[in-house]
Structure 1
Amino acid sequence: MTRRLLAEFVGTAMLLIGVVGSGIMGETLADGNVAIALLANAIATGCILYVIITTLGPVSGAHFNPAVTLAFILRGEIELPLAAKYVAVQVAGGIVGVWLTHLMFDQSILQISTTDRTGIALWSSEVLATFGLLFVIFGGLYSRPEAVPTLVALYITGAYWYTSSTSFANPAVTIARSLSDTFAGINPVHMPLFIVMQVIGVGLAAVILPLLFLDQDD
């Protein structure tokens, strides 16, 4: 239990270091070119996802995302008490990861984002982004389990570009990014609806994915 929770905490912290740190570095070096900053952000996020899923997957299952944990609850593959602990350490790890990133880049550790992210376009994007992430995870587990780290990394790298919200698809990431007034931030006022849309994405996945990826004996 302790190893699992520590893995979820460390993995989520490392994920946020990758997301926020690459956003800060990309924006600094891109000299106002938002496309270059986003490209750097996407590539670094995909890289860190591949690393943490590969290394920590055998320890905790490599959720690093309350939406993923919720999906596993709905599939009956994780018990609610353990899932609640997973979510708690994921959120805590994400916040600590943001604070460590601010420290590393010599910024104020405690921040509140002022980046507005709201509207039907971004909300619908988060539904689709979360559904797509779960499609990749459970489709990968069904067809090629050893490829899941690569599939998730590739999906998120691409989804930064083909979703209007840049594919948060993760409540813990959303909460943590509200505490960073940097390239990757989201205004805390707009955070709750992003999370609601992510949960809706989980609900859609719970209905649709079992029809696609049946048990091998079915």
Structure 2
Amino acid sequence: MTRASATEPLPLPRRLAAELVGTALLVAVVVGSGVMAQRLTTDVGLQLLANSLATVFGLVVLIVVLGPVSGAHLNPVVTVAERLLARGTDQARPSLEVAAYAAAQLAGGIAGAVLANAMFDVSPAIATTDRTGTGVLIGEIVATSGLVLVIFALVRSERSALVPAAVAAWIGAAYWFTSSTSFANPAVTVGRMFTDTFAGIAPASVPPFLAAQVVGAAIGLGAVVAFYPSRRARTGPAAATVHQPVGVI
């Protein structure tokens, strides 16, 4: 999580623009690589491999590039988790700023799906892919809790430089070991509702996914506090003073 100055954050509009653009590009990577994979092969395993690799590479780049601007959250779960971990301190991000970040991320998620559709000449449509079942939701809880733990364990232990690679590695692994293929991000989930492609998710499947992500975030936060209870390490906007990204999906 970073901001541009060692003492003062960048203006909020610039940070919000970074969150919007970054989330849009993240969803464009996820959706676009899924479409490309489907067009190149009919092997579902190879399609998932291509999709996951593109997401891993894109995620690292986005966190590295946008971390110094907005913190490269690109994920409402990350923004809210940061706020909760910093509450009661002068480092806590204002509630209105948290809401503005989340709004920018959600708008970016939708824009990214629309962009991917346009790049691949896919007709605009709401997704029809149902992603349901207890196992799938458990997978989403695992993916989200792990993401929160990875990010804030590194931040609290003053190893924020590892966040880009660690977050991308976790998401890449979770594509394969979780039954949900690791959305772990409300903005990405909502965005993927606007593309009826490999990466799409039907509207009826979105609310349970969002609920699972909230539960996963709570579990991840509990693990962070249990394993890294000290506030000595930088958390929340405090990390802005050392220009370190938080990260995403």
TM-score when normalising by structure 1: 0.96
- What is the Cα deviation at residue 89 of structure 1? 0.6
Cα RMSD for the two superposed structures: 1.2
How far apart, CA to CA, are the structure 2 residues paired with 1:168 and 1:216?
Answer: 29
Q: Indicate the residue corresponding to 1:149 in structure 2.
A: 164
Residue identity matched to 1:157? G
Cα deviation code 1:82-120 (max 9, x no counterpart): 000000010101111111111100111x21111110010
Q: Indicate the residue corresponding to 1:138 in structure 2.
A: 152
2:196 pairs with 1:181: yes
How far apart, CA to CA, are the structure 2 residues paired with 1:139 and 1:82?
Answer: 23
How far apart, CA to CA, are the structure 2 residues paired with 1:217 and 1:5?
Answer: 28
Secondary structure in 1 matching 2:59: helix
Q: 1:73 and 1:217, CA in 2 relative to 1: closer, same or farther beyond 3 A? A: closer
Structure 2's unaligned 5+ residue stretches are 1-11, 234-249
Judge conservation of contact 2:149–2:223 (CA < 8 Å) in 1.
Answer: no
Q: Indicate the residue corresponding to 1:206 in structure 2.
A: 221
From 94, 98, 101, the counterpart of 2:113? 98
2:31 pairs with 1:20: yes
Equivalent residue pairs, number: 216
- What is the Cα deviation at residue 202 of structure 1? 1.2
How far apart, CA to CA, are the structure 1 residues paired with 2:83 and 2:77?
Answer: 10
Residue identity matched to 2:127? S
- What is the Cα deviation at residue 211 of structure 1? 1.3
Matches within 5 A, 1:36-115: 36-75=46-85, 76=87, 77-108=92-123, 110-115=124-129
How far apart, CA to CA, are the structure 2 residues paired with 1:175 and 1:111?
Answer: 13
Secondary structure in 2 matching 1:184: coil
How far apart, CA to CA, are the structure 2 residues paired with 1:208 and 1:51?
Answer: 27
Cα deviation code 1:162-211 (max 9, x no counterpart): 10000000000000111111000111111000000100111112222111
How far apart, CA to CA, are the structure 2 residues paired with 1:56 and 1:152?
Answer: 14
How far apart, CA to CA, are the structure 2 residues paired with 1:2 and 1:216?
Answer: 29
Segments of 4+ in structure 1 off by > 4 A? none
Judge conservation of contact 2:148–2:221 (CA < 8 Å) in 1.
Answer: no
TM-score when normalising by structure 2: 0.84
- What is the Cα deviation at residue 142 of structure 1? 2.8
Deviation larger for 206-215 or 158-167: 206-215
How far apart, CA to CA, are the structure 2 residues paired with 1:127 and 1:165?
Answer: 9
- What is the Cα deviation at residue 217 of structure 1? 4.7
- Structure with more of its chain in helix, by fraction: 1
Q: Indicate the residue corresponding to 2:132 in structure 1.
A: 118
